[in-house]
């Protein structure tokens, strides 16, 4: 099979200006990938599928990855002019100081596709696409028109990660129900406060009960809080009585 | 068929891989039925929104998620080893092949070697899994045809013997948790191998009996032949794998293509379908059972001595180098893959299961449109899914 460099060269020869980047994988698996520009992705995908030598007719796996905003602290050398008194004479002197600067690296959502060739028996070739950010510019082109197997998998990515695939024939949530708001596979997803009264609350449930109670009290709905509180207390008493 | 058949579909217009549009005949009204989520044929909780014109299916939309527990999110919060028992629960008919796929992906990520005896043991338990999965899948298919119970119990007769072997080796019938990164958890005793040889000796007789009972049955043939046809180009384009793909006449078996483990040491054939229908899917599973028995005989004869765990293997507290890996095997349902990204921490940064059951269902609508509603149950049964894996 061709290496990623050769595949990139073949794509560039067929589709000049496609702008495919190689993303190297430092793991021992050696599965390097190609990052496509969303604007050229469908054309490149069609080329990969229809090229006689590559013949990547089988899209096996499509999935999302979440890369949240990252705060990076880096040391920067700054040169500045300082007035100094050297041997009794005041003069300007240059000085290099190391400064720690904090910078927020913007996050993104990524869609990763694993391609194989049934006709030629090779693979995997990994292609990936990145959204601009994680909030409002989360659109990527759908590869379902090229490979039908992306249909449910892209729906799943849309559901769990919130990437919007333009050109998908039937983009709805797959696993969560209609009307569900959040995207559970994102790394900053917060579980909803779904505590319900349990007669024998314990461990995790007890923690959730306390959190729920605090939230209720903060919101000022005391009636609900009292009910939960007595429930938790009853659970404890029950335990004590049993022992 | 020629290998270029499913490469380029240039002569076909855009959207050739979409389900066909079936027009109602104009008499009467359309009936919208919600099949499931507790229909007996769904083997769990799965729903199909079906629009019917008389008996004919005009539209079919599968609805998923009733069994969704976000397995992937759970796995990202625990160590690599911690997910191993969870993989049993994906496809509870084939826990051992699930273990194998996950172990293979982690071994790819870390570059972990596996001793030879462990590879042979993996092949033995993997092929036993395939035999019992195919037997029960056929049993369920016949049951959906209306033959309540009896054929399924025949299938379970062989399955029970195999599950007894699993129980003796791993301690559990279905939640085996047997494989580890770099080998298997426990070694098989000489007694276990002897009993397994005996069970495998009896298996061809079981398959013969099963085939005699079913293959010539007139009702079975009438119900399955020419029903639920899946064209090979569409099967490949829609990512269908496993017995379903081979029933559509496409020669693609990951045991042959990737030759993972020690599969390239065994002689076996890949049966292919000719008519692409439900009957072919049923026959391919029967024939694959025979091939699995061949592999089992060879593996049980050649199994070498030695350790079952690599001496350098680390199970707990290891941190793979940053990077990613995709490992896949030919599970009885199709291509089961695991995609892992490591950020250098003790937990996987991204853990993805490529579920064959879910992706094989992509073409359910294409196969069912225009067929009778009673046949939808059979077509669905011939896909052979487990909802634990579909919804994860």
Q: Please state the three-class secondary structure of B255-281 as a single string.
A: HHHCCCCCHHHCCCCCCCCCCCCHHHH
Query: A149 and B238: CB-CB below 8 Å?
Result: yes
Query: A149 and B352: CB-CB below 8 Å?
Result: no
User: In whole angstroms, what is the distance from residue A110 CA to residue A138 CA?
Assistant: 9
Q: Which residues pair with B354 in a beta bridge?
A: B337
Query: B237 and A55: CB-CB below 8 Å?
Result: no
Whether the pLDDT of residue A225 is over 50: the answer is: no
B244 by DSSP, 3-state: which?
A: helix
Chain B touched by A104 (CB under 8 Å):
no
pLDDT at position B6 is 57
Query: B321 and A57: CB-CB below 8 Å?
Result: no
User: In whole angstroms, what is the distance from residue A156 CA to residue A108 CA?
Assistant: 18
What confidence category does residue B13 fall into, taking pLDDT thresholds of 50, 70 and 90?
Answer: low
Query: Minimal Cα distance from A174: which residue of B?
Result: B64
Question: Among residues 112-141 of chain A, which lie with CB inside 8 Å of chain B?
Answer: 112, 114, 118-121, 124, 126
Question: Among residues 153-182 of chain A, which lie with CB inside 8 Å of chain B?
Answer: 153, 160, 169, 173-177
Domain boundaries, chain A: 4-67+107-166, 70-104, 203-242
Query: A29 and B337: CB-CB below 8 Å?
Result: no
CB contacts of A172 in chain B (<8 Å) are: none
Contact B102, B271 (CB under 8 A): no
Query: A29 and B10: CB-CB below 8 Å?
Result: no
| Chain A contact probe: residue of B20, B59, B359 with most A CBs at under 10 A | B359
Of A114, A85, A185, nearest to B326 by C-alpha is A114
Q: Which of B14, B68, B239 sits opposite A59 (nearest CB)?
A: B239
What confidence category does residue A229 fall into, taking pLDDT thresholds of 50, 70 and 90?
Answer: very low
Residues 6+ positions from A68 with CB-CB distance below 8 Å:
A107, A134, A186, A187, A188
Average pLDDT over residues B233-238: 90
Per residue in A33-67, pLDDT (tens digit) is 899 989 889 989 988 888 888 888 899 999 999 98
Whether the pLDDT of residue A227 is over 50: the answer is: no
User: In whole angstroms, what is the distance from residue B313 CA to residue A47 CA?
Assistant: 42
pLDDT at position B8 is 52
Give me B301's structure tokens: 């004869």
CB contacts of A118 in chain B (<8 Å) are: 6, 236, 250, 252
What confidence category does residue A240 fall into, taking pLDDT thresholds of 50, 70 and 90?
Answer: very low
Residues 6+ positions from B338 with CB-CB distance below 8 Å:
B101, B102, B104, B105, B106, B326, B327, B328, B351, B352, B353, B354
Whether the pLDDT of residue A132 is over 60: the answer is: yes
pLDDT at position B355 is 92
pLDDT at position A156 is 92
Q: Which of A121, A148, A152 sits opposite B17 (nearest CB)?
A: A148
Query: A148 and B108: CB-CB below 8 Å?
Result: no
Contact B259, B253 (CB under 8 A): no
Query: B7 and A49: CB-CB below 8 Å?
Result: yes
Query: Minimal Cα distance from B252: which residue of A?
Result: A118
Give me B15's structure tokens: 């959207």
What confidence category does residue B295 fall into, taking pLDDT thresholds of 50, 70 and 90?
Answer: very high
Q: How many residues in total does chain A contain?
A: 243
pLDDT at position A228 is 45
Residues 6+ positions from B327 with CB-CB distance below 8 Å:
B101, B104, B105, B106, B107, B108, B109, B337, B338
Average pLDDT over residues A138-165: 91
Distance (Å) of CA A78 to CA A75, A100, A101, A194, B134: 9, 10, 11, 51, 69
CB contacts of A145 in chain B (<8 Å) are: 14-15, 17
pLDDT at position A230 is 45
Higher per-residue confidence, B189 vs A95: B189
Q: Which CATH architecture has domain B80-391?
A: Orthogonal Bundle (1.10)
Buried b or exposed e, range A190-227, using 16+ CB within 10 angstroms: eeeeebeebeebeeeebebbeebbeebeeeeeeeebee
CATH of region A4-67+107-166: 3.30.460.80
Angle at CA of residue B141, ends B136 and B143, nearest 5°? 90
Mean pLDDT of chain B: 87
What confidence category does residue B289 fall into, taking pLDDT thresholds of 50, 70 and 90?
Answer: very high
User: In whole angstroms, what is the distance from residue B146 CA to residue B223 CA?
Assistant: 11
Question: Among residues 39-78 of chain A, which lie with CB inside 8 Å of chain B?
Answer: 49-50, 52, 55, 57-61, 63, 65
What confidence category does residue A13 fall into, taking pLDDT thresholds of 50, 70 and 90?
Answer: confident
B358 by DSSP, 3-state: which?
A: helix
Of all residues in chain B, the percent with pLDDT exceeding 90 is 39
Phi, psi of A24 (to 5 degrees): -85, 150
Per residue in B130-188, pLDDT (tens digit) is 999 999 888 888 888 877 778 888 888 889 999 999 999 999 888 989 999 988 989 98
| Chain B contact probe: residue of A33, A148, A154 with most B CBs at under 10 A | A148
Chain B touched by A197 (CB under 8 Å):
no
Domain boundaries, chain B: 80-391
Contact B254, A116 (CB under 8 A): no
Asked whether this complex has an ipTM greater than 0.90, the answer is no
Query: A152 and B358: CB-CB below 8 Å?
Result: yes
Per residue in A182-213, pLDDT (tens digit) is 899 988 888 777 777 777 777 777 888 888 88
Give me B239's structure tokens: 């990512």
Per residue in A55-99, pLDDT (tens digit) is 888 999 999 999 888 887 777 778 877 777 777 777 777 778 787
Whether the pLDDT of residue A23 is over 90: the answer is: no
**Three-state SS annotation for chain A:** CCCHHHHHHHHHHHCCCCCCEEECCCCCCCCCEEECCCCCHHHHHHHHHHCCCCCCCEEEEEEEEEECCEEEEEEEEEEEEEEEEECCEEEEEEEEEEEEEEEEECCEEEEEEEEECCCCCCCCEEEEEECCCCCCCCEEECCCCCCCCHHHHHHHHHHHCCCEEECCCCCCCCCCCCCCCCCCCCCCCCCCCCCCCCCCCCHHHHHHHHHHHHHHHHHCCHHHHHHHHHHHHHHHHHHHHHC
Average pLDDT over residues B290-301: 92
> What single-letter DSSP state applies at residue B46?
-
Q: In chain B, where does DSSP find H-type helix?
A: 71-76, 84-88, 95-110, 116-144, 150-170, 190-215, 218-224, 232-237, 243-247, 254-257, 278-302, 356-360, 364-368, 373-383, 387-391
Lookup result for tokens 């194989």 = A116
Higher per-residue confidence, B359 vs B147: B359
CB contacts of B80 in chain A (<8 Å) are: none
């Amino acid at each position: 099979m061709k290496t990623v460099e050769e595949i990139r060269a073949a794509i560039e020869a067929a589709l000049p200006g496609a702008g495919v980047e190689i993303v190297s994988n430092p793991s021992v698996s050696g599965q390097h990938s190609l990052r496509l520009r969303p604007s050229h992705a469908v054309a490149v995908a069609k080329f990969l599928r229809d090229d006689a030598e590559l013949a990547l007719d089988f899209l096996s796996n499509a999935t999302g990855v979440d890369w949240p905003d990252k705060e990076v602290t880096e040391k920067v050398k700054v040169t500045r002019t300082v007035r100094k008194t050297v041997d009794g004479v005041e003069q300007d002197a240059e000085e290099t100081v190391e400064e720690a600067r904090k910078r927020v690296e913007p996050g993104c959502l990524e869609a990763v596709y694993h391609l194989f060739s049934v006709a030629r028996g090779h693979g995997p070739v990994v292609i990936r696409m990145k959204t601009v950010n994680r909030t409002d510019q989360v659109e990527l082109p759908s590869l379902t028109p090229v490979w039908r197997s992306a249909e449910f998998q892209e729906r799943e990515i849309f559901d769990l990660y919130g990437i919007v695939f333009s050109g998908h024939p039937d983009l709805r949530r797959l696993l969560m129900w209609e009307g569900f708001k959040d995207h559970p596979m994102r790394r900053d997803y917060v579980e909803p406060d779904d505590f319900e009264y349990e007669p024998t609350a314990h461990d995790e449930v007890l923690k959730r009960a306390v959190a729920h109670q605090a939230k209720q009290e903060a919101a000022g709905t005391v009636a609900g809080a009292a009910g939960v509180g007595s429930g938790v207390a009853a659970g404890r008493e029950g335990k004590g009585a049993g022992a | 068929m020629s290998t270029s058949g499913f490469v380029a579909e240039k002569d076909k217009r855009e959207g050739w891989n979409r389900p066909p549009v079936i027009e109602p005949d104009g008499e009467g009204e359309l009936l919208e039925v919600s099949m499931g989520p507790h229909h007996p044929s769904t083997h769990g909780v799965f729903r199909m929104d079906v629009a019917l014109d008389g008996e004919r299916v005009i539209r079919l939309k599968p609805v998923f998620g009733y069994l969704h527990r976000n397995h992937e999110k759970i796995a990202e919060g625990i160590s690599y080893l911690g997910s191993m028992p969870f993989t049993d629960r994906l496809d509870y008919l084939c826990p051992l092949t699930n273990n194998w796929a996950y172990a293979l992906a982690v071994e790819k990520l870390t570059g972990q070697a596996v001793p030879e005896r462990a590879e042979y043991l993996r092949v033995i338990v993997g092929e036993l899994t395939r035999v019992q999965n195919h037997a029960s899948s056929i049993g369920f298919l016949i049951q959906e045809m209306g033959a309540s119970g009896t054929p399924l119990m025949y299938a379970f007769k062989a399955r029970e013997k195999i599950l007894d072997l699993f129980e003796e080796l791993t301690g559990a019938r279905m939640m085996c948790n047997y494989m580890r990164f770099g080998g298997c958890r426990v070694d098989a005793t000489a007694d276990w191998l002897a009993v397994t040889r005996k069970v495998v000796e009896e298996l061809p007789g079981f398959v013969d009996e099963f085939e005699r009972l079913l293959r010539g049955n007139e009702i079975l043939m009438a119900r399955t032949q020419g029903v639920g046809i899946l064209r090979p180009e569409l099967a490949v384009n829609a990512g269908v794998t496993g017995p379903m793909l081979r029933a559509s006449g496409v020669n693609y078996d990951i045991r042959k293509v990737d030759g993972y483990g020690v599969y390239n040491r065994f002689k076996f054939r890949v049966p292919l379908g000719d008519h692409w229908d439900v009957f072919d899917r049923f026959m391919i599973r029967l024939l694959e059972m025979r091939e699995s028995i061949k592999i089992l005989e060879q593996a049980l004869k050649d199994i070498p001595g030695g350790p079952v765990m690599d001496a350098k293997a680390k199970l707990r507290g290891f941190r793979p180098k940053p990077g990613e890996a995709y490992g896949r095997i030919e599970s009885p349902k199709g291509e089961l893959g695991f995609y892992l990204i490591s950020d250098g921490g003790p937990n996987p940064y991204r853990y993805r299961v490529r579920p064959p059951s879910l992706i094989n269902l992509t073409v359910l609508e294409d196969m069912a449109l225009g067929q009778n509603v009673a046949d939808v149950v059979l077509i669905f049964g011939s896909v052979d899914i487990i909802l634990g894996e579909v919804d994860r």
